Amino acid sequence: MIRLKHIISTLSLILIACFVANGQSRQERFEAIESQKAAYITKQLRLTPTEAQKFFPLYYEYSKEIRNVKSKKSRGNQKVDSRGNSFRPGNDVIEFDAQEVDIKKKYRARFADVVGQSRASQFFSVEQEFIELLYKELNSRRH
- List pLDDT tens digits, range 97-134: 999 999 999 999 999 999 999 999 999 999 999 999 99
Q: Per-residue pLDDT tens, the chain, 143 aa: give them.
A: 666 565 555 555 454 544 545 556 888 988 999 999 999 999 999 999 999 999 999 999 999 999 999 888 887 545 555 565 655 555 678 999 999 999 999 999 999 999 999 999 999 999 999 999 999 998 988 87
The answer, as to whether pTM is greater than 0.85, is no
In a domain, 4, yes or no: no
Q: Which helix (H) or strand (E) holds 114?
A: helix 93-115
Residues spanned by the domain of 125: 31-75+88-142
Query: Residue 20 falls within a domain, yes or no?
Result: no
Examine residue 98 and state whether it is found in any structural domain, yes or no. yes
- Is residue 61 included in any domain, yes or no? yes
Domain assignment of residue 71, yes or no:
yes
In a domain, 111, yes or no: yes
- Is-contact 45 119, C-beta < 8 A? yes
Residue 21 covered by a domain: no
> What single DSSP character describes residue 84?
S
The pLDDT assigned to 92 comes to 78
Please give the tally of structural domains in the chain.
Answer: 1
pLDDT at 1: 63
pLDDT for 2 equals 66
pLDDT at 35: 92
Residues whose CB falls within 8 Å of the CB of residue 65, separated by 6 or more in sequence, listed in order: 103, 107
Kindly state whether residue 18 falls inside one of the protein's structural domains.
no
Q: Provide the pLDDT for residue 141.
A: 86
Q: How many CB atoms lie within 10 A of CB 129?
A: 13
Closest CA to 132 of 24, 44, 23: 44
pLDDT of res. 138: 87
Return the closest-CA partner of residue 99 out of 65, 124, 58, 60. 65
Contact status, residue 41 vs residue 119, Cβ threshold 8 Å: no
